[in-house]
């Protein structure tokens, strides 16, 4: 059982790339990838490890909590499963997940899967007991044995499924994307009690400190910065596409356009330094790069202030009305 109309391509965050491949193949989303990245709020996620480790790019929070609102804002049903492979119950959950993936594929819906990073399961062979997985880097699929499902070097396993969808007015989706962006910007730590990872506004501070100290992971720094620039480019393109939906969006678009131009110039000059060293200082470009990052942080702060003003003009039922049982409904 192979879904031939799937082709994941790495261009954005790996989760966004996987989600886009799954949804477009199923006819659940029409439009460019930057639109999906913006509407889901995934483009705005920015996390940095204090040692600038490359895991920063995918460590933007508890995945179930981070991905659910992103896909909800697209009006698409989704469910996910995951955990730690060290748990004694993993074998039971693994078998259940394997069966769920096969059922999803039989319905013509591929699944998002942590490899790591995120990829797409687009087929299976029951006789050989393998899944076919795309990682987005190669056009060739990789095989994952049913028995090895979820087993990887990180100790985490994760799989996400999609289903039917409802139509949400674009204006409402754009407004919620701003609120998701604000939430990420103003939440300093998404993986408490671990404070080695910072998100949003604080992520800039971690990135600046890591670059200035000179003893952080240089390859990780390069990966973080490339991902950061890619995401900010997506935000600029997204806002350019939807700026007519809400008054005030054009000013946010202008701020991100300026941010992108500043960081693109700085990273073009600094990028060779990241390739020269595997660890340690990134050379003479650090002061210029840090000044550019400080300016970028100030520009993004202005953009978020404007987003807060726009958000305040409209009711926010998701956040202003508590359920009958309080902040959390009984489960």
Domain ranges of the chain: 1-30+76-165, 169-317
CB 119, CB 14: distance < 8 Å: yes
Prediction pTM value: 0.92
Using the CB atoms, write b or e for 99-128: b if 16+ within 10 Å.
eebbebbeeebbbbbbbebbbbbbbbeeee
Residue 110 confidence (pLDDT): 97
Residue 329 confidence (pLDDT): 54
What digits encode the pLDDT tens for the residues 228-277? Answer: 999 999 999 999 999 999 999 999 999 999 999 999 999 988 877 776 44
Q: What are phi and psi of 59, to 5 degrees?
A: -95, 50
pLDDT at 107 over 90: yes
Q: What percent of the chain has pLDDT over 70?
A: 93
Q: Which fold has domain 1-30+76-165?
A: Cathepsin B; Chain A (3.90.70)
Cross-strand bridge partners of residue 112: 120, 160
pLDDT confidence bin for 85, thresholds 50/70/90:
very high
pLDDT confidence bin for 281, thresholds 50/70/90:
very low
Residue 328 confidence (pLDDT): 57
Concatenate the DSSP letters of all residues of 82-113 into one string. EEETTSTTHHHHHHHHHHHHHHHHHTT--EEE
Using the CB atoms, write b or e for 156-167: b if 16+ within 10 Å.
bbbbbbbeebee
């Amino acid at each position: 059982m192979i879904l031939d109309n799937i082709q994941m391509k790495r261009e954005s965050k790996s989760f966004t790339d996987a989600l886009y491949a799954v949804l477009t193949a199923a006819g659940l989303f029409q439009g460019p990838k930057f639109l999906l990245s913006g509407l889901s709020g995934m483009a705005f996620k920015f996390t940095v490890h204090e040692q600038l480790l490359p895991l920063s790019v995918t460590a933007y929070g508890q995945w179930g909590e981070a991905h659910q609102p992103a896909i909800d804002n697209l009006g698409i049903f989704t469910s996910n499963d995951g955990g730690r492979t060290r748990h004694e119950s993993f074998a039971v959950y693994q078998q259940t997940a394997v069966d769920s993936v096969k059922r999803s594929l039989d319905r013509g819906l591929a699944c998002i899967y942590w490899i790591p990073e995120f990829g797409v399961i687009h087929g299976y062979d029951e006789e050989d007991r393998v899944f076919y997985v795309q990682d987005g880097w190669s056009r060739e699929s990789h095989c994952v044995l049913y028995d090895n499902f979820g087993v990887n070097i990180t100790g985490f396993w994760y799989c996400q499924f999609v289903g039917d969808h409802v139509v949400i007015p674009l204006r409402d989706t754009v407004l919620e994307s701003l609120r998701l962006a604000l939430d990420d910007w103003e939440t300093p730590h998404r993986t408490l009690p671990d404070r080695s990872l910072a998100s949003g506004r604080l992520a800039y501070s971690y990135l600046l400190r890591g670059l200035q100290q000179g003893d952080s992971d240089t390859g990780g720094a390069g990966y973080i910065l490339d991902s950061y620039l890619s995401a900010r480019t997506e935000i600029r393109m997204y806002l350019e596409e939807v700026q007519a939906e809400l008054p005030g969006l054009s000013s946010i678009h202008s701020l991100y356009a300026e941010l992108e131009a500043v960081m693109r110039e700085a990273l073009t000059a600094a990028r060779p330094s990241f390739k020269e060293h595997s660890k340690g200082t990134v050379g003479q470009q650090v002061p210029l790069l840090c000044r550019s990052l400080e300016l970028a942080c100030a520009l993004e702060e202005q953009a978020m202030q404007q987003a807060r003003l726009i958000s305040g003009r409209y009711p926010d039922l998701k956040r202003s009305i508590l359920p009958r049982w309080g902040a959390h409904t009984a489960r």
